[in-house]
Structures are given as C-alpha cells and as structure tokens.
A = this chain, B = another copy of it.
Amino acid sequence: MKQIFFTPGPAQLYPSVARHLKIGLEENIFSISHRSQKFKDIYEGTVEGLIKLLKIPDDYKIVFVASATEAMERLIENIVEKKSFHFVNGSFGKRWQEIAVELKRETCVIEIPFGEGFKDVPEIPKDTELICFTHNETSSGVALNTEFIYKIGKANPKALLAVDTVSSAPYIDIDFKRIDAVFFSVQKLFGLPAGLGVMILSPKAIEKATKLQKKGLNIGSYHNLPSLVDWAEKNQTIETPSVLHIYLLGKVLEDMNKKDIKKIREELDERAKLIYDFFDNNTNFKPFVKNKKDRSQTVIVITLGDKTEEIKAKLEEKGLIVGGGYGPFKNTQIRIANFPAVGDKDISVLINEFKKF
C-alpha cells in the first residue's frame, strides 16, 4: 500500500530522492574516494546549492556534521568557554541546554511551558558568550518570530547567536548577517534519509573558536570548528563522510532551486493555512498552540486527547502516517509535518479522512 509520511522527521522523502539514489548507484558515487576531484565537485555543488537556496553570505562557512545533535555539541564546545544562555520552550531547546551542562558549561535558561512562545525579552547576563534559540520546536509546534531573535541579538551585542532551524530550514527566511551559527539536519524539510547535519557559521563564530583553541582550551578534535572549516575550504571533510548524504542533498537542492524557494515557501504557507483552518473550525480536535503568532507553519500539533491512538491507527490503515505527540503528549497529540515532500493532494486526503472522525 502506498504510504504518505506526515511525520516530522524522519519524514516523507522528497519525490526525486529514489531517482537520485538509483543514479548515484549506477554511477558508483558511493564507491568514489572522498579525496577525489569527483567528490570535491559533488561537495562544491552541494555547498553552492545551499548558498543559493538559503542566500548565505559570502563570508559565512558551511560545514557538515552527522546530526543536528552533533551541531549542538560542537557549538558549545567551540564557542562557549564558560557561559551559554538558552531559550527553552520544548524538548529540543532543553536538550541543547543539557548538552551544555554535560560539557561542564554554566548555563542560564529562560524556560516557558510547552506550546507557548516567548513574550518577554529576558535580561541576559553580560558575560554570556552564546545565546541559543530553537527556531521551530519540533516537539511542541511553536515557532519563534525571527524579529524576536534579532531583537535579543541587538540588545546583547557581545554575545554570539546560534539558531536551531532543524524543522524550519529552508522555510525560515533568516537574515544570516544577524546570526552566528545556524544548523539543521536533512531528514526534515529537505526530505532526505537521516544522517547529515549542516552548520552555517559566521566569521565571528569561527574567530571565537580559534581564540579558545589558541588559549590552549579543549575544543574537540577532528570536528572542532577550525578543523571543519579548513577542510570545507578544500571541499572535503577530515573523516570519510557520508558521501551518499552530501550527494543526495546536492541533488535535492538542485530540484528545490529549480522550483525556487519563494514558491516552496508560498506552498507551505498555503498548506499550513488549510490545516490550521480545518482544525480551528473543528469542534472535537484543536491545534495545541493557541496563539496564532506562535504557531509553526511546518510542524503542526493537534490535540486529539483520548482518541489519539484510535485515529492514528485508522489513518495508518489508509496509508497516512502522522507523528505522535512528543514526550508527555505522546498519547494525546499528533504532529503533522508540513514539509515540501508532502503535496497539496496529500494534505487534502488527510483532511478528508479527519472529516470522518
């Protein structure tokens, strides 16, 4: 039976992925040396695809890691000597703070309930080195306003800013010049198999890591930022990377750039509106995030209460796989990913099924 994954990652594969994988196999891409010119060309193409799609400034560096979780660790290791500040409104923001604690850094946190956005601008200690934001909380379906992030940055010019855009890139239209580190993984909106993280770094972020390194501090080894950047300049990675993921990402970026990012964003906006409108007007099931301004356009959380398991099972019988709620909401909510791999028709089919419940 045909299945459509509305799950927020791993997610529905982008429609061209199967074709790209087939061609990659035929052309022996997954056997070539990661030091060959052919690989360097693939790497360069992927980086160029990212620069074009996301409008990344010339002086920013793009590096590959294994996951967004690794990106969280490397950023703390490399940018924070002592103190980080964390905006926490869900499980992934919390995880990032916990990583900083495990790495023996001092953390300050503003934490608000699951499903809510930040209203107040908190006072941030003057010696904070890195302020960490989760742009789109995959756990709760709350997205931050980029203007809010910029405002915090402006009020704290000495601190660097890092933004987790795991489940919002490339939907989020971010002004990189105001941010020092942005990261995401490829199994969300890019519709790839999981296994690759992408970090985009400002000159100031790299400078800070180099400064800590020169001070003799331990900023990690093969994946410290200076090492990552040095190898990226050569269109390579220090370790043997997942050539498959870098290749597939490059191909999907070509497809997305052909379609144009404006069109992709418009489509996602339209589909999000369809979904939210339906549930706002539904008497039984409501969007979890009450305040419309806080709602994510890419991960839509619906409270189904007692009916959750039953509805999930009925949808699955029709080949429609939705995500469960996160953590404590596992059995009372579902999460619907509004990612580019899911089409207008798929959304209509899902909504029509919901009309029956």
Contact = CB atoms under 8 A, between A and B. Distances in A.
A133 interface: no
A30 to B, nearest CB: 4
Interface in A116-168: none
Contacts of A348: none
Contact of A222 (B22, B73, B187, B218): B73
Interface in A238-279: 238-245
Given A66-B66, A73-B221, A240 B193 contact: no
Given A10-B243, A102-B220, A221-B99, A34 B73 contact: no
A220 B7 CA distance: 30
Interface in A174-203: 185, 187, 193-195
Interface in A56-87: 65-70, 72-73, 76
Contacts of A331: none
Contact of A240 (B10, B222, B244): B10
Given A25-B18, A221-B102, A69 B238 contact: yes
Contacts of A222: 69-70, 72-73, 99, 102
A3 interface: yes
Contacts of A99: 221-222
Q: Report the copy number of this chain in the oligomer.
A: 2
- Interface range for A: 35 or more
Nearest to A34: B10
Contact of A7 (B13, B31, B68, B238): B31
Contacts of A240: 9-10, 67-69, 185, 187, 194
A313 interface: no
Contacts of A69: 222, 238-240
B21 A5 contact: no
Given A5-B31, A7-B31, A66 B73 contact: no
15 contacts: A5-B28, A10-B31, A10-B33, A10-B34, A21-B21, A30-B193, A66-B70, A68-B240, A72-B222, A98-B221, A102-B220, A102-B221, A103-B218, A194-B241, A244-B244
Given A17-B25, A73-B223, 17 more contacts: A7-B31, A10-B32, A11-B31, A13-B30, A18-B25, A31-B321, A67-B239, A68-B239, A72-B221, A73-B221, A76-B221, A98-B221, A99-B221, A102-B220, A102-B222, A104-B218, A194-B240
